[in-house]
Structure 1
Amino acid sequence: MTRKTFVAGVGMVPFAKPGASESYEKMGAAATRLALADAGIGYGAVEEAYAGYIYGDTCSGQRALYEVGLTGIPIFNVNNACSTGSNAIYLARRAIETGVADVVLAVGFEQMNPGALGAVFRDRPKSTERFEDSARDILGASDIPTAIRLFGGAGFDHMKRHGTPLESFAKIRAKASRHAARNPLAVFRKEVTAEEVMADQVIWPGVMTRLMACPPTCGAAAAVLCSEDAAKKFGLDTRVWIAGQAMTTDTADTFESQDMRRVVGYGMAQRAAEQLYHATGIGPDDVDVVELHDCFAHNELIIYEALGLCPEGGAQKFIDDGDNTYGGRYVVNPSGGLLSKGHPIGATGLAQCVELTQQLRGTADARQVEGARVALQHNVGVGGACVVTMYRN
């Protein structure tokens, strides 16, 4: 038996560049307090908590939440690459739907260092080793940093298959900046044009400029989820609920297809979306607003197609027609996305939840998508894991 799960409260601290934020436990505690205040409930009512982060020592979740209260509840630490925040939501929802708990907290935070992502433990095999090997087999050897290599390679694959011009990625980045200009919590709020993106520092000739990549970011976000029973007991907000979620990992085609799009999660996203649409009876045509994982402009483009927002090979037209922004078919990443809002890895999935909850409540201020009733969230991590979530009003 399953029970309905509501998003009773959300909270998020302003994202910041590395070195400009508070430490992780302060950010995590602050986001949690904001979510509890938004829900109108005390920490003492929370029965379980799931804390997501990837750059931190064991029990960092306890370190952050002990700042809020010492209630003895189960606190689980979650680490699943860049999809960590959504995995925390996934586990919190399951606890409610299966009757284990009635009020559950999901929180994500990250205190990052400047520069490209790198391995922390250098005395053992990397978790991304097979993905890097596949990229080398497909693209050849290179000293380009791993994340740029993987996601830039996926965009390069799309360019070769479908004739997609580099300008399409520049238009995505420009769109992200226009959206982020309306978001006071985004780390980069300066608007840039597609021409400025194209003219920026080249980090992979013909494939990527610096502005097409998201920045390392520090931040935290949280959500309070509850059952219908808890909502009645505490008088909690029931305007937004989770209609369904799907979580997938890699299959053999990731490594056997010789397709860089699949190496970075196209197949995972496609399968998760299909599972979600089937389970909820809600298809992409029903969706109003989308927050998806645009760690690079290249990934946003290929995920349009993986989620069925446009046909395979149709992303360039989708972008040129303005169907990814206000006035078009969907508004994608009204928050500014990872490209402009920022990507504090453990917090990213929770920040997407914050944005979509505000959109469905009609409280997103200058970012508000008119008449938003159905919201879709996509969060992926190479390694790999993908979570796709449907929210309803």
Structure 2
Amino acid sequence: MSEKVIIGGVGMIPFAKPGASASYTDMGAEAVRRALADAGIGYELVQQAYAGYVYGDSTCGQTALYEVGLTGIPIVNVNNNCSTGSTALYLARQAVALGDADCVLALGFEQMQAGALKSHWDDRPPTRARFQPILKKLTEDVTDIPQALRSFGGAGREHMQRYGTRMETFAAIRAKASRHAANNPLALFRNVLTTEDVMNDKVMWPGVMTRLMACPPTCGAAAALIVSERFARKHNLRSDVVIVAQSMTTDPVESFDPPSMISYVGGHMARAAAQQVYERAGVGPQDIDVCELHDCFAQNELLSYEALGFCPTGEGEKFVMDGDNTYGGKVVTNPSGGLLSKGHPLGATGLAQCYELTHQLRGTADKRQVEGARLALQHNLGLGGACVVTLYGKN
């Protein structure tokens, strides 16, 4: 038996640059308070909580949530790299769908450090250690750039080599993100850029990437209250947004064999998760009105168009050039400005995507509103790996 799963409330704080934010305890607690206020209920009604973060000690979730209340509920700490926030959402959704609880909180926060992502452990094997020779072999001509840039830049270069995609297309994706972010008061970077501005920025990988094509590290928090239909009815919560279908995948054999950078950065995980969601919901990619996807790099946004089925493989550039990724096109992609404009506080990103899509389906996204939006897709990717795809709909 599966219960209908409703987004009862969402909350998000503006993201900030590392060193300029409040502590994770304050950020996490504030996001929860905003979600509770949005729902119109108190913390005492929350029955379970899943708290996501990547860079923090054990039980940081309790530390943040204790600032909101001490109610003795189960609090589970979640870490799934960049898909952490949506993994917390996945677990909260499961609890409600299976009837284990009627009101579950999903929280994501991150207090990031400046600079490229790095491991904080040097006395044990890194994640994906078994498969790093693939990365080193396929990008052996570049060894002096951070691993994330090397991974996603390498995937973008592979697409360029296979299909003739131009670097300017990735720049156009970044410029599109800036136009969308200009209408989002919660986006950190709201200045409008042109394709030429992006192309003329500092070169990180000649012929492949400039600095503006990479999302910056930021600090922030977001939260969502996941409730059953009976709970929403009993407490007079709005119930106009539901989770229609959701899937989480990890790496199949094809992620690494045959060796491919596009596969290495999650192409197969994303494709499988999207297909599972479409099948469970009885819809197709052509039915999606709006999407928040994991644009950690402009290159990955283009790869994700193809993995999610928005366009055929190899036609990501045409999708961009035809304007099908923005207002008036096929799928308005990242109306929030995405990670490229908000930044990427790892634990918070997935729930920030949930926040945006909830407002899109409510019709409360103000100048960002996608007219007539009824189905919204979320794609959140973490290398290591996990990919969560969530389909939201109007109830």
Normalising TM by the smaller chain, what interval?
over 0.9
Q: Is the 8 A contact 1:51 1:88 kept in 2?
A: yes
Residue by residue over 1:288-317, the C-alpha shift from the partner in whole angstroms, topping out at 9 and shown as x without a partner, is 000000000000000000000001011111
Match of 1:385 in 2: 386
Q: Is the 8 A contact 1:359 1:372 kept in 2?
A: yes
Q: Which amino acid aligns with 1:359?
A: Q
Question: How is 1:138-217 mapped onto 2 (pairs within 5 angstroms)?
Answer: 138-140=138-140, 142-217=143-218
CA–CA separation in structure 2 for the residues paired with 1:52 and 1:360: 24
Match of 1:94 in 2: 94
Match of 2:340 in 1: 339
Are 2:237 and 1:231 aligned? no
SS at match of 1:386: strand
**CA offset at residue 330 of structure 1?**
1.1
Q: Is the 8 A contact 1:374 1:390 kept in 2?
A: yes
Residue by residue over 1:253-290, the C-alpha shift from the partner in whole angstroms, topping out at 9 and shown as x without a partner, is 11112210110000000000111111110111111000
**CA offset at residue 131 of structure 1?**
4.2
CA–CA separation in structure 1 for the residues paired with 2:233 and 2:311: 40
Match of 2:136 in 1: 136
Match of 1:221 in 2: 222
Match of 1:126 in 2: 126
Q: Which amino acid aligns with 1:166?
A: M
- Greater shift, 348-357 or 280-289, is seen at 280-289
Question: How is 1:291-370 mapped onto 2 (pairs within 5 angstroms)?
Answer: 291-370=292-371
CA–CA separation in structure 2 for the residues paired with 1:380 and 1:123: 26
CA–CA separation in structure 1 for the residues paired with 2:99 and 2:89: 16
CA–CA separation in structure 1 for the residues paired with 2:279 and 2:292: 20
What CA RMSD, in Å, does the superposition of the two structures yield over aligned residues?
A: 0.7
Match of 2:280 in 1: 279
SS at match of 1:389: strand
Q: Is the 8 A contact 1:318 1:324 kept in 2?
A: yes
Q: Is the 8 A contact 1:255 1:263 kept in 2?
A: yes
Residue by residue over 1:61-84, the C-alpha shift from the partner in whole angstroms, topping out at 9 and shown as x without a partner, is 000000000000000000001000
CA–CA separation in structure 1 for the residues paired with 2:197 and 2:144: 26
Query: Normalised by the size of structure 2, how large is the TM-score?
Result: 0.99
CA–CA separation in structure 2 for the residues paired with 1:29 and 1:203: 37
Match of 2:376 in 1: 375
- Greater shift, 134-143 or 279-288, is seen at 134-143
Match of 2:20 in 1: 20
CA–CA separation in structure 1 for the residues paired with 2:347 and 2:381: 12
Q: Which amino acid aligns with 1:282?
A: V
Q: Is the 8 A contact 1:132 1:150 kept in 2?
A: no
CA–CA separation in structure 1 for the residues paired with 2:157 and 2:130: 20
Q: Which amino acid aligns with 2:308?
A: L
CA–CA separation in structure 2 for the residues paired with 1:254 and 1:244: 24
- Greater shift, 129-138 or 1-10, is seen at 129-138
**CA offset at residue 233 of structure 1?**
1.1
**CA offset at residue 252 of structure 1?**
1.1
CA–CA separation in structure 2 for the residues paired with 1:128 and 1:214: 22
Are 2:39 and 1:39 aligned? yes
Q: Is the 8 A contact 1:132 1:146 kept in 2?
A: no
Q: Which amino acid aligns with 1:92?
A: A
Residue by residue over 1:90-138, the C-alpha shift from the partner in whole angstroms, topping out at 9 and shown as x without a partner, is 0000000111100000000000011000110111000132343211122
Q: Is the 8 A contact 1:187 1:342 kept in 2?
A: yes
CA–CA separation in structure 2 for the residues paired with 1:237 and 1:70: 26
Question: How is 1:53-68 mapped onto 2 (pairs within 5 angstroms)?
Answer: 53-68=53-68
Equivalenced residue count is: 393
- Greater shift, 123-132 or 288-297, is seen at 123-132
CA–CA separation in structure 2 for the residues paired with 1:76 and 1:182: 35
Residue by residue over 1:351-387, the C-alpha shift from the partner in whole angstroms, topping out at 9 and shown as x without a partner, is 0000000000000001000010100000000000000
SS at match of 1:63: helix
CA–CA separation in structure 1 for the residues paired with 2:95 and 2:259: 38
CA–CA separation in structure 1 for the residues paired with 2:365 and 2:233: 26
Q: Which amino acid aligns with 2:148?
A: A
- Greater shift, 258-267 or 131-140, is seen at 131-140
CA–CA separation in structure 1 for the residues paired with 2:77 and 2:270: 24
Runs of 5+ unmatched residues, structure 1 = none
CA–CA separation in structure 2 for the residues paired with 1:131 and 1:187: 35
SS at match of 1:256: coil
Question: How is 1:79-118 mapped onto 2 (pairs within 5 angstroms)?
Answer: 79-118=79-118
Identity of aligned residues (%): 65
**CA offset at residue 342 of structure 1?**
1.3
CA–CA separation in structure 2 for the residues paired with 1:129 and 1:338: 26
CA–CA separation in structure 1 for the residues paired with 2:326 and 2:89: 26
Q: Which amino acid aligns with 1:238?
A: S
CA–CA separation in structure 1 for the residues paired with 2:182 and 2:191: 6
Query: Normalised by the size of structure 1, how large is the TM-score?
Result: 0.99
CA–CA separation in structure 1 for the residues paired with 2:360 and 2:197: 30
